[in-house]
Amino acid sequence: MAAADKIRDGEILLEMKDVHMLFGKVIALAGVNLEIRKGEIHSVIGPNGAGKTVMMNIINGLYRPQQGEIFYKEKKINFLKPYERSKLGLARTFQKVEVFGGMTVLDNIRLGRHIHYKSGIFSGSWYFGKTAREENKHRAFIEEEIIDLLEIEQIRNKPVGMLPYGLQKRVELGRALALEPELLILDEPLAGLNLEEVEDMARFILDINEEKRWQVTCLLVEHDMGVVMDLSHRVFVLNFGNMIIDGTPKEVQNNPEVIKAYLGEDDLYSTRK
């Protein structure tokens, strides 16, 4: 784990400081602190309803916390809207796939690159010249970097709403990657997939994180302990709004409180059936 130590000394990409989030009387987050360093896969685990999705929504700006601060590359981003945060290099996938069902796979991925396109209503209506060149350039990128990587050549012209769930999740990942993010939030990317699809998806996440071309920092919310412990550099354990521990997979597995929270599952590796 020498590589992990090196990452741990690296630059802090995202920082949450004492973040509180309440929905009426429900305390979803009660003072959460999180540091994500460049290059790592940082997982967040915890039981259902622990507040993991709320945490992700706060990071990408869908929710505003009542208290606490969020920094991205040392810049405070509390008041930035989601679309402004995406321009800083933040992308995400959702727990329940949120694709554009009526658009084709290609168009979904093209839309992921929205911030890299330039054309407006006039040049778009005219199309020839500038816009045509731009479309062509990005099409090449999408084909070579994303469609190849995710192995979705066969379905590129299919409307996403018609695809099976597993492929929709893959397209959603492709769309997020198309933004060329620095920090990628993956909210339960493996939920609802079959074994083969889980293996594929885990491999994609590893590729995205490790390949020289991408080197994307990942914030991963996942229930599959086997995958979490294998992939992550660090694991953050959340229990109903409170952090239990934030450490290496080994530290987490040996933590008595974590073991208690996952009581009855003596071996964390066996949670997947």
Partner 1 sequence: MTTTFLPCGVYHENYIQDHAWWQTKFIKGKMLLLFFLLFILIPLLADTYILSICNQIGYTILGAIGVQLLIGYCGQLTLGHAAFVAVGAYTSTLLILEFPWPAILLNLGLAYPISIFIAGLMAGLWSVLFGLPSARVKGFYLILTSMAAQFIIVDFIITQYVSQIGGRGQAFSLPPGTIKLGPWLIDSDLKVYYLMILLCIICIVGVANIMRSRVGRAWVAIRDNDISAEVMGINVIKYKLLAFFYAGFIGGIAGSFWISNLAAISPEHFPWSWSLWLVGVILIGGVGSIHGTIFGALFMVLVMESLQLMVLPLADIYPKLLMDFLFIKEAAFGLAICMFLIFEPNGLAYRWWQTKNYFNLWPFSY
Ligand X SMILES: Nc1ncnc2c1ncn2[C@@H]1O[C@H](COP(=O)(O)OP(=O)(O)O)[C@@H](O)[C@H]1O
Chain positions contacting Mg ion, by CB under 5 A: 53, 95
List interacting residues with partner 1 (CB under 8 A): 60, 62, 81-83, 86-87, 91-92, 94, 98-104, 107, 110-112, 114-115, 117-121, 123-127, 131-132, 134-136, 139-140, 143, 157-159, 175-176, 179
Binding status of residue 208 toward ligand X by CB under 6 A = no
Residue 28 contact partner, candidates partner 1, Mg ion, ligand X, none, CB within 5 to 8 A by sort of partner:
ligand X
Q: Residue 231 in contact with residue 199, Cβ under 8 Å?
A: no
Contacted entry of Mg ion, partner 1, ligand X, none for residue 78, CB cut-off 5 to 8 Å set by kind: none
If we measure between CA atoms, which residue out of 25, 98, 24 comes closest to residue 60?
Answer: 98
Question: Residues 148-155: contacts with CB within 8 Å, 24+ apart?
Answer: 149/177, 149/204, 149/207, 150/174, 150/177, 150/204, 151/200, 152/105, 155/105
Q: H/E element holding 35? A: strand 26-37
Please report whether residue 98 would count as binding ligand X according to CB under 6 A: no
Question: Hey, which residues does 242 pair with through a beta bridge?
Answer: 239
Cα separation, 131 vs 222, whole angstroms: 40
Any residues with CB less than 8 A from the CB of 8 and at least 6 apart, and which? Answer: 37, 40, 233, 234
Nearer CB in complex with ligand X: 52/170: 52
**Residue 258 CB, nearest approach to ligand X (Å):** 15
Identified binder of ligand X from the candidate list 16, 50, 220, 252, rule CB under 6 A:
50
Kindly state the number of chain residues that form the binding site for ligand X, as judged by CB under 6 A. 11
Examine residue 28 and tell whether it contacts ligand X (CB under 6 A).
yes
Single out the residue of 54, 80, 231, 258 in contact with ligand X (rule: CB under 6 A).
Answer: 54
